[in-house]
């Protein structure tokens, strides 16, 4: 057990709160003008070169070209010449709480560990993070309430949704084992049970639900059309959105046809066909591709960006693992089917997007031990671009579009009225999407995140194990 876990949550928060100060001294008006950076807005509009961003009381109050934006009298100035600013990212698909970096499972699922994972996301520039289907409802609602009340130090904003599956179905074996003691998965066999479960969620004002429609190559019970049609129908009656885990061509067709709002995963091992594309064209679902989960981890490439939030022991163990493990990071030789997989991914990504699938950032981080919260986000963006997307479109799929999906009105773009949640980069991601990794600083609610303190805390925790 790492030392932090021995502290009470309150002690932990008090200790960490000292690590976060004001970004810089502010002028009498409390306003700060960030000047000189290229501003990547986060929607389809062109970037603003030599921009100015005015922040007051945690909100953006003006955005424009330097010189064209009037700063309030007495505003402090921050010179960002040569930098690029983009909105904080939003990850719509992770599994928070079970990773402990030296242990894994339900015992780790405490508010302080959820907070730790959200701080890791924030460290990497992710301002909102949604845990999908694997978070216990009551503690998660409480965590959200506490976070909104300002009880925690700065971290990625927490979102979650409950999950539904047939008895014995749902997530893969490792995540099932973690979630079972907490009774997280709503197990339903009939349309009536499905509707009742959705109604209970709606009564708690939970805006989304996840369903698993996957028999894991015949090893799991499969959710029947009767059940998922009932879930979707009932959810829509309550204005809730349904996220559907579906990994085969027939399953993706079935859930899109049934009206699922978000498809999770890509069709695996085969090209999409005209029938699926016609359904996508008609329904325009959101789509969390979660491609990175099937990739060799970048920890193998000895890139410090992927190591800095991981204990050295975990990095060493991933590098020493040379036999591929499903869903877990390893550093074996490249998959012999890699070239074929790339061809299918590239074909499917481009055709699905051309048909109108609304791409959103999701990573499945935390589904299995050994992933780092936050790095997968940058990996996923780079993969999209490698597979044919433009960097500008990749940034939209990581900022304004997930904000729209989650209904986060004050995030997703650099615009007046939004929360001042943004990333300052040393290089331009529109030139090379891998430049999202050149993070100089992260601001949440107008305050600079103390990334050095966070990094130091993780290293102390890691080295004492």
Stretch 316-355: interaction string toward Zn ion, x if CB under 5 A: ----------------------------------------
Give whichever of 160 and 422 is closer to Zn ion, judged by the CB atom.
160
Residues 324 and 398: their CA atoms lie apart, in Å, by 29
Closest CB 217 distance from Zn ion, rounded Å: 17
In the complex, minimum distance from the CB of residue 90 to Zn ion, in angstroms, rounded to a whole number? 16
Q: Which is nearer to Zn ion, 63 or 165 (CB)?
A: 165
CA–CA dist 54, 46 (Å, integer) = 19
Residue 7 CB, shortest distance to Zn ion, in Å, is: 30
State how far the Cα of 132 lies from the Cα of 121, in Å rounded to an integer.
15
Residue 214 is a binding residue for Zn ion (CB under 5 A): no
Tokens of 73: 């009298």
Output the smallest distance, CB 262 to Zn ion, in A: 11
Least distance between Zn ion and beta carbon 93 (Å): 6
Question: Segment near Zn ion (CB under 5 A), from 26-34, 57-65, 359-367, 401-409?
Answer: 359-367
Residue 380 binds to Zn ion (criterion: CB under 5 A): no
Our CB check for Zn ion shows the closer of 234 and 364 to be 364
**Token duo for residue 415:** 């615009």
Binding of Zn ion by 364 (CB under 5 A): yes
Cβ of residue 169: shortest distance to Zn ion, in angstroms? 14
In angstroms, the CA 413 to CA 416 distance is 9
Rg (the chain; Cα; Å): 22
Shortest Å, Cβ 95 to Zn ion: 6
| Nearest alpha-carbon partner for 409 in 53, 90, 56, 86 | 90
User: Between residues 179 and 400, which has the closer beta carbon with respect to Zn ion?
Assistant: 179
**Angle made by CA atoms 381, 385, 389, in degrees to the nearest 5:** 110
Stretch that binds Zn ion, among 147-155, 294-302, 361-369, 431-439 (CB under 5 A): 361-369
CB of 344 to Zn ion, least distance (A): 20
Number of chain residues interacting with Zn ion (CB under 5 A)? 1
- Cα 331 to Cα 322: distance, rounded to the nearest angstrom: 5
Pair of tokens at residue 388: 């044919």
Residue nearest to Zn ion (CB): 364
| Contact track, Zn ion, 144-183, x by CB under 5 A | ----------------------------------------
| Residue 99 vs 364, nearer CB to Zn ion | 364
Comparing C-alpha atoms, which of 414, 456, 462 is closest to residue 89? Answer: 414
Question: Please, what is the minimum distance in Å from the beta carbon of residue 60 to Zn ion?
Answer: 32
Residues 6+ apart with CB under 8 A from 402: 89, 90, 91, 92, 128, 360, 361, 412
Exposed / middle / buried, residue 268 (Cβ in 10 Å: 0-12, 13-18, 19+): middle
Stretch that binds Zn ion, among 217-225, 363-371, 415-423, 457-465 (CB under 5 A): 363-371
Q: Which stretch binds Zn ion (CB under 5 A): 73-81, 357-365, 397-405, 411-419?
A: 357-365
Q: How far apart are CA 200 and CA 103, in angstroms?
A: 33
* Span near Zn ion by CB under 5 A; candidates 362-370, 377-385, 414-422, 438-446: 362-370
Alpha helices in 238-273 (DSSP H): 249-258
Instruction: Identify the H or E element spanning 227.
Output: helix 225-237
Looking at the Cβ atoms of 158 and 422, the one nearer to Zn ion is: 158
Q: Which residue in this structure is represented by tokens 């950032």? A: 361
- By beta-carbon proximity to Zn ion, the closer residue of 75 and 89 is 89
Closest to Zn ion by CB, 119 or 363: 363
Question: What are the residues whose beta carbons fall under 8 Å from the beta carbon of 147, sequence distance 6 or more?
Answer: 155, 157, 158
- Report d(CA 93, CA 183) in Å as an integer: 20
Span of 65-73, 190-198, 296-304, 358-366 interacting with Zn ion by CB under 5 A: 358-366
Question: CB-hemisphere CA count at 13 Å for 462?
Answer: 17
Contact set with Zn ion (CB under 5 A): 364
């Amino acid at each position: 057990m790492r030392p932090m876990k021995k502290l009470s949550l309150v002690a932990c928060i008090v200790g960490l709160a000292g690590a976060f100060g004001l970004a810089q001294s502010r002028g009498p008006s409390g306003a700060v003008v960030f000047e000189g950076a290229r501003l990547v807005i986060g929607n389809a509009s062109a970037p603003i070169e030599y921009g100015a961003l005015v922040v007051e009381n945690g909100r953006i109050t003006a955005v424009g070209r330097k010189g064209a934006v009037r700063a309030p009298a007495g505003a402090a100035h921050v010179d960002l010449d040569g930098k690029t600013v983009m909105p904080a990212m939003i990850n719509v698909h992770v599994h928070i709480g079970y990773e402990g970096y030296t242990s894994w499972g339900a015992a780790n699922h405490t508010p302080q560990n959820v907070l730790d994972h959200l701080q890791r996301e924030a460290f990497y520039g992710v301002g909102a993070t949604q845990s999908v289907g694997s978070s216990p409802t009551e503690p998660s609602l409480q965590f959200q309430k506490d976070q909104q009340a300002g009880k925690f130090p700065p971290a990625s904003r927490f979102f979650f949704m409950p999950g539904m599956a047939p008895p014995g179905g749902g997530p893969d074996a490792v995540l099932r084992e973690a979630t079972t003691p907490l009774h997280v998965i709503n197990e339903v066999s009939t349309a009536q049970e499905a509707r009742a479960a959705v109604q209970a969620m709606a009564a708690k004002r939970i805006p989304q639900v996840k369903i698993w429609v996957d028999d894991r190559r015949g090893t799991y019970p499969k959710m029947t059309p009767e059940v998922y049609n009932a879930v979707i129908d009932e959810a829509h009656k309550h204005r809730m959105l349904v996220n559907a885990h579906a990994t085969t061509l027939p399953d993706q067709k079935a859930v899109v046809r049934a009206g699922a709002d978000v498809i999770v995963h890509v069709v695996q091992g085969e090209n999409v066909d005209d029938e699926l594309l016609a359904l996508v064209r008609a329904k325009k679902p959101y789509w969390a591709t979660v491609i990175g989960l099937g990739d060799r981890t970048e920890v193998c490439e000895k890139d410090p960006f992927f190591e800095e939030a991981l204990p050295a022991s975990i990095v060493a163990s991933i590098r020493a693992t040379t036999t591929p493990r499903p869903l877990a990071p390893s550093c074996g030789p490249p998959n012999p089917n890699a070239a074929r997989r790339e061809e299918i991914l590239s074909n499917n990504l481009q055709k699905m997007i051309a048909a109108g699938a609304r791409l959103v950032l999701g990573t499945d981080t935390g589904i299995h031990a050994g992933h780092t919260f936050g790095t997968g986000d940058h990996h996923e963006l780079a993969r999209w671009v490698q597979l044919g997307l433009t960097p500008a479109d990749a940034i939209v799929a990581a900022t304004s579009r997930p904000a729209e999906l989650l209904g986060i009105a004050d995030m997703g773009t650099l615009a007046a009225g939004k929360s001042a949640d943004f990333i300052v980069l040393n290089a331009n991601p529109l030139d090379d999407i891998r430049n999202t990794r050149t993070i100089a600083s992260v601001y949440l609610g107008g305050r600079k995140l103390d990334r050095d303190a966070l990094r130091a805390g993780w290293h102390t925790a890691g080295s004492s194990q």
